[in-house]
Chains A and B, each alone.
Chain A
Amino acid sequence: MQIPQDLIETAKLKLKSVQSEAEFFQLRSQYLGKKSFVISSFAELKSLDPDSKVVAAKELNILKSKLNHLFEVALEGMQAKTDVSLLDTTLPADPYFVGAEHPIAEISQRVINYFTPLNYQVFSGNEIETDFFNFEALNFPANHPARQMHDTFYLNAGKKSEYLLRTHTSNSQIHAMLREPLPLYMLSPGRVYRCDSDTTHLPMFTQIEGLVVDEDVNFGDLKGIVINFLEYFFNEKMEVRFRPSYFPFTEPSAEVDIKFGTNGWLEVLGCGMVHPNVLKGCNIDTQKYRGFAFGMGIERLAMLYYGVDDIRDFYASNLDFLNQFSS
């Protein structure tokens, strides 16, 4: 007697596509009904010789029992489903809150995420700082006109009057250069302050600066990392322009512009080779080491990235605005 090898497998497959009880019973009758292969084969056992009869009967019984089990389990499953009272699953979910990071925090993290695999360490630093770390050590001599580029908030500090709100995150770089071993690859993210307020400026904003002090770094290395970072950040090949500028703590200094949409060139970043006076002030041998630094305003990047027109929107705590960043 020939017993099909795939009988169980085909039964399983067919059971999976069963949609109703009627279909189920029809299928069961195909496999276990009077006219089914298994049941009708029992009738044919008579015609076999005694030895073959014993073997075939055993195989048929196993098959029948497997099929019975298969259909019993399937039926239980079907009945379990139909026992549950049917719900309208399209009704709304219970109320839930969707939280989100602030867009400025998110953009800051996006920047940091580029640099951490390159082993840049992150130092956040002091927001209330002394004149020395904010200006002097960064080659801004007292009374120098360059200080007028930074409208500075000062603090009442009793006898000492040199405390201020940092005007850039470069103060962290001085702390790190004085403290950390070389070579140094670092990022300094954080809030900075200038007494200035309009649609494109706020008295507080967020900066991230990067600093590398190593042997044999040159202007081409600075250009390389800046361009690569910008392409990562905006996730596209970018047209990038470096043009000479002035920062007291870098020499040469450059502003970096990108071609962005239909807006033409937009300034996104400042950078340069670290001024030798800054390195010397941090006891770094300028014959052996050179450095480069770059810094960017996170609000500006966020405005470009998300298409926000008014910088004040970021700090207005308006859920109608902020909730859009959660999706």
Chain B
Amino acid sequence: MKVQYSFLKDYLSTDLSQVKLTDVFTKVGFECESDGLIIDFDITPNRGDVLSLRGLQREFQAQQSKVFKDKLQYKKLTFHKDKTIINKIDKSGCGNYQLMLVRGLHSVKALDKKKRNFLTAAGVPLIHPFVDLGNYVMLEMGTPMHVFDFDHLELPLNILFPVSKKTSFQAIGGDTKIVESSSLTIQDQKGIQAIAGIIGGHETSVSKSTKSIAVEAAFFHPNKIANQARKYGLATDASHRFERGVDPELQQRALARFLFLLKEIAQYDSIGCYEGSSAKLKPRAISLSVERFNNFSGLLLSPKKIKLFLETLGFTSMPTRTAHLKFQVPSHRFDMELEEDLYEEILRCYGYDNIPINPPKSGPVAKVIDHSVSAKLKGGLVFGGFQELMHMPFVSTETFHELNSNKWIPAELSNPINENEPLMRGSLFGSLFSAINLNVKKGHSAIKFFEHGNVFHKVKNDFAQESHISGLIYFHESQKTWSDKSFQYDLYSLKAEVLKLLETLRVKSIQLVPNASATIFTANAMDILIGKNKIGMLGEINLTSTQKLIKNPAFGFEIYPEKISTKSSDVKLKPVSKFPSSSRDLNILISQSHSYAEIETVLLNSKIKFLHSLALANTFEGKGIPEGSISMTLRFIFQSPSKSLQEFEINESMDHAFSLLNKALKAKIRS
């Protein structure tokens, strides 16, 4: 709510500077910002009662420990019940309904400059003197008013929910709205003339030729107005106030005020004031235990002090037979239900900053929740030279499907912020590819990125969320040093990087199993398995799924940290041999149809005596090697835990190793 400082200062009869005045309101919960000489109050949704000068005045006076006194001038009006004017009222939606008929209006002029400036500063457009006056009284008192052209109304009015479902209605401004059955309406004998508390009708709106008006002031229940305006694509000053709650005891006074000010801008022949029959809201009362309040706040306030604070805010202290205090809630406070609501009011008056501060408390010893897998992986990546990135998770339909190795059903937003990106990501790679393009354009030629975040997909009528850590390595130019050393990054460099990362987690039995079918990668890709559990993938990136700037092979991996258990990662020590190890090489010729993994499986799954470890020392194809074969030099390390090995023992093991390879894979000795 925007108010001119000069206007507010006069209204509150204060000499405080603009800065000091905004400070007073901010400290009691109404944050303000100054835009030049206009103060913009940020009124929270629970405090509709402060959306008026009257509401601001009440808070200001309470802050000065003064009980609120209404300063607005008007002459009390008498209201009559007349079924020919107001006939039926749906009491579930309308708490009270008043209509003031003013006939024979003439000599109409605009509001005075001060009032017009006040309205303009508040962001309320000037429309017609009678409408402007209604808006002015709304800003003064907080209750919205609607002005009908009386000559276009066919009385009596009914305040009812529409019976037929698709009634159309032409709103002020000319737009046609299909009225929802949940919207309370003001109907005359011709049909709907306004959507209650939201907007009036075009046909009955005032114009230059208006001679008589019917001014409406009513209380509509907040829960019947809430969210209604949005259904029509509207947000009006009236709906904003009604859905937050308008004081139900103000309406007749507001009409009296309207009439009082009307005399400043027009002359009229006669008036009539009417009220529909309605049920008054029951006054609400809340009990308060002083002891409980003091425990809650850490203060030691007396009952007298508590009463004083609440009474300045309009609460009435009620007699009780118990030790508790009891307060009647003023009619304008829709946010008061519980004892704790009163606590807030007392503390606002006391000042939050005056509440004593206690030293921080700690909780009981926390149950250990292992977040260490992600943290360790991220730490390892940072140490390995990867820069962490973070991205929005919204992707286009094309991107989702290009990277959809798992054939997931996408999680789709019904109201995306960008209609080209309606899906939640199913992979982190899309954004990483874009990031490579962006940085290559900026001249970065060697890139190592990773991202840690969730990916999403739909599972039947529910959604799944999985945590991924994905990384990319890309060299746009080959990396050469001043000394002409060059760095070749290839699939095996990536394998080393990923294995190093996982082994620092003490994850045992990691297997890399070829998987040529993932859309993100080329055929040179692998699943990362722990036992049968897939914990990630790595491989050469399929460039068709990236964007055009990437011209060289890129390598990537994704790891699913939630699928890695570190439970079995405790260190189990084995005795270390004190005896020397011996190394032997074996040159074999083997068909290229066999993979190195097969050789490893044959050798490591058979119990070769004293074999400590196995490595591939060299491979060779070409001259002297038969077509379709490859030469491999296997390096065996032998060691015994209990003795120095003799030559013959090592030779026996080597013979055993070769016979296994020969039998299983038809390997031959390369001479």
A interface vs B, CB < 8 Å? 91-92, 94-102, 104-105, 116-123, 126-128, 143-146, 148-149, 153-161, 163, 165, 183-185, 191, 195, 197, 202-204, 212, 214, 216-221, 223-225, 227-229, 241-246, 251-255, 273, 275-277, 290, 314-320, 322-323, 326
CA distance A204 to B344 in the complex (A): 32
CA distance A312 to B226 in the complex (A): 34
Q: Which of B156-185 contact A (CB under 8 A)?
A: none
B180 to chain A, nearest CB (A): 13
CA distance A202 to B392 in the complex (A): 9
Residues from chain B with a CB closer than 8 A to the CB of A102 are 388-390
> Is there an interface contact between B357 and A203, defined as CB atoms closer than 8 Å?
no
> Is there an interface contact between B361 and A221, defined as CB atoms closer than 8 Å?
yes
Among A95, A160, A252, A314, which residue has its beta carbon within 8 angstroms of that of B343?
A252
CA distance A98 to B297 in the complex (A): 50
> Is there an interface contact between A246 and B357, defined as CB atoms closer than 8 Å?
no
Residues from chain A with a CB closer than 8 A to the CB of B388 are 99-102, 105
Please classify how large the interface on chain B is, using the bins under 10, 10 to 19, 20 to 34, 35 or more. Answer: 35 or more
> Is there an interface contact between A220 and B298, defined as CB atoms closer than 8 Å?
yes
CA distance A171 to B525 in the complex (A): 39
> Is there an interface contact between B378 and A105, defined as CB atoms closer than 8 Å?
yes
Number of A-B residue pairs at CB separation under 8 A: 243
Q: Which of B13-41 contact A (CB under 8 A)?
A: 26-29, 31
Residues from chain B with a CB closer than 8 A to the CB of A120 are 363, 366
> Is there an interface contact between B439 and A241, defined as CB atoms closer than 8 Å?
no
> Is there an interface contact between B413 and A203, defined as CB atoms closer than 8 Å?
no
Among B353, B378, B452, B487, which residue has its beta carbon within 8 angstroms of that of A242?
B353
> Is there an interface contact between A220 and B358, defined as CB atoms closer than 8 Å?
yes
CA distance A214 to B364 in the complex (A): 10
Interface centre among B295, B344, B353, B357 (most CB of A within 10 A): B357
Residues from chain B with a CB closer than 8 A to the CB of A99 are 381-388, 448
Q: Which 7 A-B pairs have the closest CB atoms?
A: A97-B385, A185-B363, A244-B29, A220-B298, A246-B44, A252-B344, A317-B435
Residues from chain A with a CB closer than 8 A to the CB of B487 are 94-95
> Is there an interface contact between A145 and B392, defined as CB atoms closer than 8 Å?
no
Residues from chain A with a CB closer than 8 A to the CB of B363 are 118-121, 183-185, 212, 214
CA distance A277 to B47 in the complex (A): 19
> Is there an interface contact between B358 and A204, defined as CB atoms closer than 8 Å?
no
> Is there an interface contact between B414 and A314, defined as CB atoms closer than 8 Å?
no
B481 to chain A, nearest CB (A): 5
B interface vs A, CB < 8 Å? 26-29, 31, 44-47, 223, 226-227, 243-244, 295-298, 338, 340-341, 343-344, 347-348, 352-353, 355-367, 369, 371, 378, 381-394, 411-417, 424, 431, 434-435, 438-439, 442, 444, 446-449, 452-454, 456, 458, 461-463, 465, 479, 481-483, 485, 487
CA distance A144 to B225 in the complex (A): 10
B372 to chain A, nearest CB (A): 11
Using known A-B contacts A98-B385, A99-B382, A118-B362, determine if residue A144 contacts B392 with beta carbons closer than 8 Å: no
**Which residue of chain B has the shortest Cβ distance to A163 in the bound complex?**
B463
Other contacts beyond A118-B362, A227-B357, A244-B352: 14, CB < 8 A: A97-B448, A117-B362, A119-B366, A122-B371, A157-B458, A158-B461, A216-B295, A219-B298, A220-B355, A223-B352, A223-B355, A245-B29, A317-B438, A326-B387
> Is there an interface contact between B446 and A95, defined as CB atoms closer than 8 Å?
yes
A217 to chain B, nearest CB (A): 7
Residues from chain B with a CB closer than 8 A to the CB of A157 are 458, 461-463
Residues from chain B with a CB closer than 8 A to the CB of A319 are 387, 439, 442, 444, 447
Residues from chain B with a CB closer than 8 A to the CB of A255 are 31
Residues from chain A with a CB closer than 8 A to the CB of B391 are 315, 317
Residues from chain A with a CB closer than 8 A to the CB of B424 are 128, 155
> Is there an interface contact between B366 and A160, defined as CB atoms closer than 8 Å?
no
> Is there an interface contact between B356 and A220, defined as CB atoms closer than 8 Å?
yes
Among A149, A251, A318, which residue has its beta carbon within 8 angstroms of that of B442?
A318
**Which residue of chain A has the shortest Cβ distance to B224 in the bound complex?**
A143
Using known A-B contacts A143-B223, A153-B413, determine if residue A160 contacts B46 with beta carbons closer than 8 Å: no
Q: Can you name 26 A-B residue pairings with CB atoms under 8 Å? A: A94-B481, A97-B385, A99-B382, A99-B385, A105-B378, A120-B363, A122-B371, A127-B393, A127-B465, A145-B243, A156-B414, A157-B458, A157-B461, A191-B453, A203-B417, A212-B361, A218-B297, A220-B297, A223-B358, A227-B357, A242-B355, A243-B27, A246-B45, A255-B31, A317-B389, A322-B389
Residues from chain B with a CB closer than 8 A to the CB of A100 are 382, 387-388
A213 to chain B, nearest CB (A): 10
CA distance A203 to B416 in the complex (A): 10
Using known A-B contacts A153-B416, A243-B29, determine if residue A119 contacts B463 with beta carbons closer than 8 Å: no
CA distance A254 to B344 in the complex (A): 10
Residues from chain B with a CB closer than 8 A to the CB of A225 are 360-361
Interface of A is mostly: mixed
CA distance A165 to B393 in the complex (A): 11
**Which residue of chain A has the shortest Cβ distance to B393 in the bound complex?**
A204
CA distance A154 to B487 in the complex (A): 48
Among A94, A126, A149, which residue has its beta carbon within 8 angstroms of that of B465?
A126
Using known A-B contacts A118-B363, A219-B296, A317-B434, determine if residue A246 contacts B47 with beta carbons closer than 8 Å: yes
> Is there an interface contact between A218 and B359, defined as CB atoms closer than 8 Å?
no
CA distance A128 to B295 in the complex (A): 38
Using known A-B contacts A119-B362, A224-B358, determine if residue A318 contacts B439 with beta carbons closer than 8 Å: yes
A117 to chain B, nearest CB (A): 7
Residues from chain B with a CB closer than 8 A to the CB of A204 are 392-393
Using known A-B contacts A149-B45, A157-B461, A255-B31, determine if residue A183 contacts B364 with beta carbons closer than 8 Å: yes
Among B46, B431, B452, B465, which residue has its beta carbon within 8 angstroms of that of A317?
B431
Among B44, B357, B390, which residue has its beta carbon within 8 angstroms of that of A104?
B390
Residues from chain B with a CB closer than 8 A to the CB of A183 are 363-364
CA distance A271 to B527 in the complex (A): 46
Using known A-B contacts A219-B298, A252-B343, A318-B439, determine if residue A101 contacts B358 with beta carbons closer than 8 Å: no
> Is there an interface contact between A251 and B45, defined as CB atoms closer than 8 Å?
no
Among B227, B338, B434, which residue has its beta carbon within 8 angstroms of that of A276?
B338
Interface centre among B45, B348, B483 (most CB of A within 10 A): B45
Residues from chain B with a CB closer than 8 A to the CB of A121 are 363, 366-367, 369
Using known A-B contacts A127-B465, A204-B393, determine if residue A154 contacts B414 with beta carbons closer than 8 Å: yes
**Which residue of chain A has the shortest Cβ distance to B464 in the bound complex?**
A128
Residues from chain A with a CB closer than 8 A to the CB of B411 are 128, 155
CA distance A92 to B371 in the complex (A): 39
**Which residue of chain B has the shortest Cβ distance to A275 in the bound complex?**
B340
**Which residue of chain B has the shortest Cβ distance to A160 in the bound complex?**
B461
B434 to chain A, nearest CB (A): 7
**Which residue of chain B has the shortest Cβ distance to A217 in the bound complex?**
B361
Residues from chain B with a CB closer than 8 A to the CB of A98 are 385
A253 to chain B, nearest CB (A): 8
**Which residue of chain B has the shortest Cβ distance to A251 in the bound complex?**
B340
**Which residue of chain A has the shortest Cβ distance to B436 in the bound complex?**
A317
Residues from chain A with a CB closer than 8 A to the CB of B439 are 317-319
> Is there an interface contact between B415 and A251, defined as CB atoms closer than 8 Å?
no
**Which residue of chain A has the shortest Cβ distance to B394 in the bound complex?**
A203
CA distance A100 to B386 in the complex (A): 7
A62 to chain B, nearest CB (A): 36
Residues from chain A with a CB closer than 8 A to the CB of B344 are 244, 251-253
Using known A-B contacts A99-B448, A104-B390, determine if residue A241 contacts B353 with beta carbons closer than 8 Å: yes
CA distance A326 to B383 in the complex (A): 11
B227 to chain A, nearest CB (A): 4
Residues from chain A with a CB closer than 8 A to the CB of B369 are 121-123
**Which residue of chain B has the shortest Cβ distance to A152 in the bound complex?**
B415
A199 to chain B, nearest CB (A): 15
B415 to chain A, nearest CB (A): 6
**Which residue of chain A has the shortest Cβ distance to B422 in the bound complex?**
A156
B399 to chain A, nearest CB (A): 15
Residues from chain B with a CB closer than 8 A to the CB of A227 are 357
CA distance A227 to B391 in the complex (A): 32
CA distance A318 to B338 in the complex (A): 51
CA distance A195 to B394 in the complex (A): 12
A310 to chain B, nearest CB (A): 15
CA distance A156 to B413 in the complex (A): 6
